[in-house]
Amino acid sequence: MHVHLLTLGSRGDVQPYLALGAALKDRGHDVTVTTGLGFDEMITAQGLTSAPIKFDVRAMIEEPDIQEALRSFRGKLAAWRNRKGDFIGQMRETAARVRETRADALVYHPKMAGAPYLGAGLGIPAICSYLIPGFTPTGDHPFPLLPIPDLGRFANRLSHQAIHGLTDRMLGPLMKAWWREDGGDPSVGPFSSYDGFDPAGRPPLRLHAYSAHLMPQPSDWPARDTITGFWWLPGEPDWRPPAALKAFLDAGPPPVYAGFGSMPTDDAAATTRTVLEALERSGNRGVLATAWGGLAATDLPETVFMLDMAPHGWLFPRCAAVVHHGGAGTTHEGLRAGRPSVICPVSVDQPFWGRRVHALGAGPKPIPQRALSADRLAAALAATRDPAVRARAEVLGEEIRAEGGATEAARLIEDWVGAGRG
């Protein structure tokens, strides 16, 4: 079987799909990955085929309108209005890559919203997969990305349906416009980007790639929805830490990790000074990751080491706690290592993961980056030393490490496509 994986975004949006691709390859399947620029080396390192489109997420995220979109709802609406043409261009390129592949199935991130049309046009399953909750309505809780309390079963479900309906109203006309321009059959669709397509007429399979220990499977979900556990990329056995990093780690007690991934800040130098002051006040050593610009090189005390990045699966178990933006991947990595997390969210799903980590007892209340201060961060770091917090993080780590998310997802895809062939 040949499976084509479609995803778009930062490393956190891409790496889990490479883990899924590696699991499918281990089961004897061919895998092609279509995503933006800059990931070819990661893709081929897993023995997968790269078929990229000309989309540079790192360059895009540094543009002023995207920066504003990360900070406000008004900014999100403005960026959406300004970038509708980008969406159509990305789907046109993606369609070309998919048609070249002659795959037996598509597995896609919701950002690749036109995938159900491609599946229908080719007569193959298009399986939607989600790295965050909220894409299947439930009465168990309100839409997770809205900061609202439990509203009761009816209103909870309504909150999901309202967001889904708004998304379909925004995306639907664009998808149909792209499909017509691309020469697609006008009778195909309309499709919700959240749902997928199945040529056998079954309700399409939907995979939820996060830990059920962080967000349990709702009691009222249909059978086609499964929380598989997070999709972990196999370890990097050839990676070796720089000698200076190893020497720093060996020279004292475990440090606090601080890094904000793909989330740049207004003033990286000021944010770095805040983190350094909080580390000093709380009596911690630190490892700071510059990544995509959230922190910046500056004069450092001997108690702090700065790097570009290192594999989280290697570094986090060697740390006392992790301070980060709250992306799904980093949140899972910190907890998989059994370490308390201090989450400083910016946007999208990050506040949700911050609330979940705190609710589960594995870290203090999240500190929005716009409210980040040395006093607040120092107090949060002190809270990570609480024996109850450390014990809860360790238990969650054991539970998450026991999940086989990518392997389970690969099995479900294999079974689903096989059953559809009759």
Domain residue ranges in the chain: 2-232+404-420, 243-401
Contact by Cβ (8 Å): 6, 36: no
- Provide the pLDDT for residue 83: 63
pLDDT category of residue 69 using cuts at 50, 70 and 90 = low
Q: How does pLDDT run across 1-51, given as a tens digit for each residue? A: 999 999 998 888 999 999 999 999 999 999 999 999 889 999 999 999 999
Residues listed for the chain: 422
State how far the alpha carbon of 58 is from the alpha carbons of 33, 38, 76, 83, in Å: 19, 9, 17, 16
Average pLDDT over residues 352-373: 94
Q: How far apart are CA 268 and CA 281, in angstroms?
A: 20
pTM across the whole model = 0.90
- Provide the pLDDT for residue 80: 60
Would you tell me how many other CB atoms lie within 10 Å of the CB of residue 59? 12
Average pLDDT over residues 164-192: 86
Q: In sequence order, which ranges of 34-152 are alpha helices (DSSP H)?
A: 40-45, 57-61, 64-71, 73-82, 84-101, 115-122
Same CATH fold assignment for domains 2-232+404-420 and 243-401: yes
Collect all residues with Cβ–Cβ distance below 8 Å to 124 and sequence separation of at least 6.
103, 104, 105, 106, 199
Q: Greatest CA separation found in the chain? A: 66
- Provide the pLDDT for residue 120: 94
| Structure tokens belonging to residue 324 | 């980060």
CATH class for the region spanning 243-401: alpha beta
Q: How does pLDDT run across 107-148, given as a tens digit for each residue? A: 999 989 899 999 999 999 999 999 999 889 999 989 988 888
Average pLDDT over residues 319-328: 94
Q: In sequence order, which ranges of 283-342 are alpha helices (DSSP H)?
A: 312-315, 328-336
Mean pLDDT of all residues belonging to the chain = 89
Average pLDDT over residues 89-101: 92
> Which architecture does CATH list for 2-232+404-420?
3-Layer(aba) Sandwich (3.40)
Q: Tell whether the torsion through CA atoms of 33, 36, 40 and 46 is positive or negative.
A: negative
Q: How far apart are CA 388 and CA 309, in angstroms?
A: 30
Q: In sequence order, which ranges of 190-291 are alpha helices (DSSP H)?
A: 243-250, 268-282
- Provide the pLDDT for residue 81: 64
Q: How does pLDDT run across 391-415, given as a tens digit for each residue? A: 999 999 999 999 999 999 999 999 9
